[in-house]
């Protein structure tokens, strides 16, 4: 099994540019999560999809952030326009069902630097 796949692994962009992060969950999983990790705030959940439908987007920082899941095997997190404070590592995770005993499998992350 390839695990959760994220691309790109590293992204360097300039303030004001659009950034798109991509995620391919583990085949058969119906729950997908986007997390962000910074030194100041640690790991925090941005958005949760179940069966391709956004269930909880309360962690999305502001309107500059948007996430989509057009099908069960692909999700994107878009930042437009990007700002230096968006610099962080963004992780995608997937799980089989999303319940309290369920295991989340994380991808390797995308390290985003906004200059």
Q: Give the interface with another protein as residue ranges (CB under 8 A).
A: 4, 31, 33, 42-45, 48, 50, 55-56, 91, 93, 95, 98-109
CB closer to another protein, 71 vs 100? 100
Give buried/exposed letters for 90-104 (b at 16+ CB in 10 A, else e): bbbbbbeebeeeeeb
Query: Please, which residue, 81 or 99, has the CB nearer to another protein?
Result: 99
Cβ contacts of 98 within 8 Å, gap of 6 or more: 30, 31, 48, 50
Least distance to another protein from the beta carbon of 5, Å?
A: 11
**Integer Cα distance of 78 and 27 in angstroms:** 23
Cβ closest to another protein, residue 40 vs residue 70: 40
């Amino acid at each position: 099994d390839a695990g959760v796949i994220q691309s790109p692994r590293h992204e360097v962009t300039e303030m004001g540019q659009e950034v798109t992060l991509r995620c391919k969950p583990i085949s058969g999983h119906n729950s997908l999560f986007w997390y962000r990790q910074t030194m100041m705030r640690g790991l925090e959940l941005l958005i949760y999809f179940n069966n391709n439908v956004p269930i909880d987007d309360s962690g999305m920082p502001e309107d500059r952030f948007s996430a989509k899941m057009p099908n069960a095997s692909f999700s994107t997190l878009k930042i437009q326009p990007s700002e230096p404070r968006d610099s962080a590592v963004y992780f995608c995770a997937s799980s089989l069902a999303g319940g309290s005993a369920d295991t989340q499998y994380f991808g390797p992350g995308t390290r985003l630097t906004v200059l």
